[in-house]
């Protein structure tokens, strides 16, 4: 499931570039390149802000933030942030080995480092699945199976408060990049 906030669009005023764009066989190509460079800059900023907000590494958030890039025939680009919740293991989960003796005295459950303090899940455990996936799990009942993976917050919620900053970055980058991309495309067409 992916989420994006509705109603955010940027309008390009290309009147200043009409003469230059008329010289190109594919005038949409430099515009698409400028949009893609700008939207990728926005993705980088969004990923950094979400990671900071949730207290995670940028690499742990990167898979939840993607872009839909523009093409010469479709001059639209967007940053897309997943509404899926982040697995709890990404929040520095620490706990006992699930295969250890359950009657052994000492620490029980799993502790995670969330922004604003640590959380403790008393009935949870860390396990490696046959596929190699490691996660924080909890049994549904008294029986051994079934188990459910535990998750933290959604990166989409964190993105909502940072979206104006990301949009401002994309606009700023586009204002810088667009003239250079058009100038470069014209110089290549003439040369």
**Residues spanned by the domain of 66:** 14-85+153-190
Residue 178 backbone class (left: φ over 0; alpha: ψ -120 to 50; beta: rest): alpha
pLDDT, tens only, 105-114: 555 789 898 8
Q: What is the pLDDT of residues 165-177, one digit of tens each?
A: 999 999 999 999 9
Domains in the chain: how many in total?
Answer: 2
Query: Do 109 and 51 fall within a single domain?
Result: no
Of residues 97 and 12, more confidence is placed in 12
pTM: 0.83
E strands, the chain, are 2-3, 65-68, 78-82, 110-114, 117-121, 124-128, 134-139, 147-149
Q: Are residues 125 and 161 both part of a single domain?
A: no
Is position 117 within any domain? Answer: yes
């Amino acid at each position: 499931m992916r989420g994006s906030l509705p109603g955010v669009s940027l309008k390009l005023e290309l009147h200043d570039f009409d003469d230059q764009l008329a010289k190109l066989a594919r005038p949409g190509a430099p515009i698409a390149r400028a949009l893609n460079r700008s939207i990728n800059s926005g993705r980088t900023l969004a990923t950094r802000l979400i990671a900071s907000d949730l207290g995670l590494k940028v690499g742990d958030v990167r898979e939840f933030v993607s872009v839909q890039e523009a093409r010469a025939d479709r001059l639209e680009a967007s940053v897309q942030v997943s509404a899926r919740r982040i697995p709890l293991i990404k929040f520095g989960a620490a706990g006992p080995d699930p295969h250890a003796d359950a009657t052994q005295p000492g620490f029980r459950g799993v502790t995670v480092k969330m922004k604003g303090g640590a959380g403790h899940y008393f009935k949870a455990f860390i396990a490696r699945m046959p596929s190699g996936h490691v996660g924080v799990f909890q049994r549904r009942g008294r029986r051994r199976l079934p188990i459910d993976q535990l998750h933290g917050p959604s990166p989409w919620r964190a993105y909502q408060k940072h979206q104006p900053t990301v949009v401002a970055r994309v606009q700023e980058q586009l204002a810088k990049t667009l003239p250079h991309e058009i100038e470069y495309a014209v110089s290549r067409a003439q040369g």
